[in-house]
Amino acid sequence: MDNVTIIGTIAAICTTLSFVPQVLKVRRTKHTADLSLPMYVILCFGVFMWMCYGIMTKSMPIILANGLTFVLCLYVIAMKVKHG
C-alpha cells in the first residue's frame, strides 16, 4: 500500500468512525429532537455521491468508508423520522 492510500484509509476510518457515537446514542436514547433532518439528508446525499465517485475511480477506501457512512446516516435519518 502506498503512502497516499494509507493516508486515505486513515482519513476514511476516522471520518466513518466519527458517526458511530451519534448512532449509538440515538439507538440507546431514541432522542432525535436536537438533530437536523435537512443536515443529515444533505450529508447522506453527499456521502452517496462520494461512494459513487469511489466506485468510478475504483478507490476502495472511498467506497468502503462512504458506503458504511451512508448506512449510518440512513439509520439516523430513519430514527429521526420515526422518533421526531
- Burial class, 23, CB count within 10 angstroms (exposed 0-12 / middle 13-18 / buried 19+): middle
How many domains in the chain? Answer: 1
Amino acid identity, position 19: F
Q: What is the pLDDT of residues 28-45, one digit of tens each?
A: 999 999 999 999 999 999
Average pLDDT, rounded, for the chain: 94
**CA-CA-CA-CA dihedral for 67, 73, 79, 80, to nearest 10:** -150
Residue 30: give the domain boundaries.
3-83
The model carries a pTM of 0.90
Q: What is the CATH number of the domain that holds 15?
A: 1.20.1280.290
